[in-house]
Amino acid sequence: MPHPTAKPSLLTLPAEQLRGWLAQHGQPGYRAAQIRRWLFERRAATVDDMTDLPKTLRAELAEAFDLFTTEVVKHQQSDDGTEKLLLELSDGQRTECVLLRDDRHHRTVCVSTQVGCAMGCVFCASGLDGLDRNLRDAEILEQILQLQHLLPADERLSHVVVMGMGESLANLDALLSALEIVTSDEGLGIGARRITISTVGLPAGIRRLARTDHPYHLAVSLHAPNDELRNRLVPTNRGTGIDAILAAADDYFDHTGRRVTYEYVLLADLNDHVEHAQQLAVLLKSRNALVNVIPYNAVSELPYHTPSPAVTERFVETLRHAGINVQVRYRKGEGIDAACGQLRRRAGAKRLEA
Ligand code: SAH
């Protein structure tokens, strides 16, 4: 079981700091690249795996830095190639992350940014018990690397989606720090265009994200075409409102040139009527937008249902006829509780103290 420690993480240590540390320990400069290759390409699980480093250096590194602080406590695989990990953090909290495979050879990981969530979306399993804490940058990065370690040596991760537990923009500093390593050529080298950050719609966070150096792909979880309905489904909307969210998303597009995706979880009889699709089309028709329709993934404790395929089709066709770009995101990971927060709830949110 990993133990809480105050050591800095070797995984998120900036390259220049690693070089500085190595110089202080009498090591040649090329060791920094050698170590990073072990971490991000050669998939070392411990410092001792780095067999071409001198033994004393390995001991000094292990003394000074943490490597993996998370431990896999559950690993589930689905017939469609989806794999899900439940990770235990050093304080006994748990988080989850998913590897998705598709027939275009995309290898996508879906990661969490918080333990629990404070947003309270009524249909979502992640927020049922509120927020426990933010994840640290290293804990976000470790999810990605733990999933990378599941791939055969000749396969690389191609995409990252920040759509697991938690509100991404409520833990933006840690997320950006983790993504700095993900995008860096000395890290995982995954381009910002292959990274999607999903948000409930926090306008200040969206504007801040627009001004980073990286054109990440932004997905806004809209789920309703008017404030009256959105206030009910996504309670944080009461403090923001759809207009402010769309204005911030427009700002994101203006700054990055990246088309914004709007996610719309389809909940039977709640937000799936033709009129809802028509209202949504009015909101988005003058915008360069993509709507991602997600049929609800039922959560056993919650009283919400997945619409029939016919209703889903009618919703999508109404948008399409109105000239909106739309796609349906079908379920993956059938049978392994792949929707946010579900595995963690089933397996226990926290380690049981012996
Ligand atoms: N806080 C971020 C990330 C959340 S998870 C956000 O709100 O976008 C990513 C998406 O999955 C969100 O759109 C979320 O509303 C949606 N979601 C949550 N529970 C779901 C469920 N049971 N079925 C389908 N989608 C769900």
Cα–Cα–Cα angle for 21, 186, 104, nearest 5°? 150
Could you confirm whether 96 is annotated as catalytic? yes
Q: Is 110 a catalytic residue?
A: no
Q: Is the CB of 296 under 6 A from ligand 1?
A: yes
Segment among 20-24, 25-29, 274-278, 348-352 with least mean pLDDT: 348-352
For 82, what's the count of Cα atoms within 13 Å in the CB-facing half-sphere?
A: 16
Cβ of 297 closer than 6 Å to ligand 1, yes or no, is yes
Ligand 1 centre to CA of 319 (Å) is 21
Would you say the CB of residue 220 lies under 6 angstroms from ligand 1? no
Q: CA-to-CA distance for 61 and 53, rounded, in angstroms? A: 10
> Which residue among 97, 110, 121, 340 is the active-site one?
340
Q: Is residue 263 lining ligand 1, measured as CB closer than 6 Å?
A: yes
Ligand 1 close to Cβ of residue 339 (< 6 A): yes
Q: How far apart are CA 279 and CA 226, in angstroms?
A: 8
Both tokens of 152, joined, read 């055969």
DSSP 294: E
Extended beta strands in the chain, E state: 71-77, 83-88, 94-101, 107-110, 114-116, 131-134, 159-162, 195-199, 217-221, 260-266, 289-295, 325-328
Please answer whether residues 279 and 251 qualify as being in contact, where contact means their C-beta atoms are separated by less than 8 angstroms.
no
Please, which residues have CB within 8 angstroms of residue 295's CB and are 6 or more apart in sequence? 265, 266, 306, 307, 312, 328, 330, 331
Candidates 174, 175, 188; CA nearest to 146 is 188
Q: What is the pLDDT of residues 283-339, one digit of tens each?
A: 999 999 999 999 999 998 999 999 999 999 999 999 999 999 999 987 666 666 655
C-alpha 280 to ligand 1 mean position (Å): 18
Give SS3 for 48.
helix
pLDDT, mean over the chain: 93
Q: Establish whether residue 134 lines the binding site of ligand 1, counting it when its CB lies within 6 angstroms of any ligand atom.
A: no
The SS3 assignment for 154 reads: coil
Q: Which of 83, 96, 139, 263 is catalytic?
A: 96
**Geometric angle at alpha carbon 174, from 172 and 176, rounded to 5°:** 65
Closest Cα partner for 113 from 180, 73, 167, 179?
A: 167
Whole-number Å distance, alpha carbon 340 to ligand 1 midpoint, is 7
CA distances from 296 to 52, 145, 269, 325 (A): 49, 29, 12, 20
The confidence score (pLDDT) of residue 104 equals: 86
Q: Are 333 and 80 in contact (CB under 8 A)?
A: yes
Of 34-43, 101-110, 172-181, 189-198, give the lowest mean pLDDT range.
Answer: 101-110
**What pLDDT sits at residue 6?**
74
- Residue 346 alpha carbon to ligand 1 centre in Å: 18
Q: Which two tokens stand for residue 64?
A: 């000074």
**Residue with the nearest Cα to atom 11 of ligand 1?**
163
Confidence of residue 59 (pLDDT cuts 50, 70, 90): very high
Distance 299 CA to ligand 1 centre (A): 12
Mutate which of 108, 217, 221 to test ligand 1's pocket (most atoms within 8 Å of Cβ)? Answer: 221
pLDDT bracket for residue 39 (50, 70, 90): very high
Pocket flag, ligand 1, residue 293 (CB < 6 Å) = no
Quick: pLDDT tens for 91-136.
Answer: 999 999 999 998 888 999 999 999 999 999 999 999 898 999 999 9
